Amino acid sequence: MQQPPLLDTINQAIVVAHGSATAPHYGFLQKTYDKRPYQPLIDDLALRFAITDTTDLNYDSAMVYHLRQQEEHCLLLSLVGKFFLLFDSIVDRKRLVEQPATEEARAVFRAAQQHGFVPIDRETLKRRTCLVDYEGRTNTVWEALFDRS
């Protein structure tokens, strides 16, 4: 069975970031976070939203931002590659925005995509990647790109 191109792109990003899919190195997370590679996107979003960085690298493989204007959103920008998720709640990560229905959500999608980020849908998040954890099981896209908890 042939993998879809997005999953190929994700797997390539995993290997580049971790150095290996089967013996991954996680030190890049802190180094990448400290470099603030996505600051241009955050600066653009800050023109419209109040932004709070809530990243916790003990659990996250992404930069996590709470965005507030009239609505509240949680934006995850993967440290593995230019992939993003937008949730319509800052309280939990259950209501994934796949098709932005409000002007604020559309603004976040537009800005992220203009900066080269690719949105990940719910079905893709469940797929298995090439990244193998210490127990020998392959991680899902969610685990590999966004949340290691």
Q: What is the pLDDT of residues 15-52, one digit of tens each?
A: 999 999 999 999 999 999 999 999 999 999 999 999 99
**Domain tally for the chain?**
1
Distance of CA 64 to the CA centre of its chain: 8
Residue 105's domain comprises 5-144
* Residue 140 covered by a domain: yes
Question: Does any domain span residue 136?
Answer: yes
Residue 19 lies in a domain: yes
Q: What is the pLDDT along the chain (149 residues), one digit of tens a residue?
A: 555 699 999 999 999 999 999 999 999 999 999 999 999 999 999 999 999 999 999 999 999 999 999 999 999 999 999 999 999 987 777 899 999 999 999 999 999 999 999 999 999 999 999 999 888 999 999 999 999 87
Looking at 19-102, list the stretches that DSSP marks H as alpha helix, in order from N- to C-terminal side: 28-35, 39-46
Does a structural domain hold residue 48?
Answer: yes
Residue 130, classed as helix, strand or coil, is strand
The answer to whether position 102 is within a domain reads: yes
Beta-bridge mates of residue 65: 53, 75
How many whole angstroms separate alpha carbon 17 and alpha carbon 98? 25
Do the domain assignments include residue 34? yes
Does residue 81 form part of some domain? yes
Residue 69 lies in a domain: yes
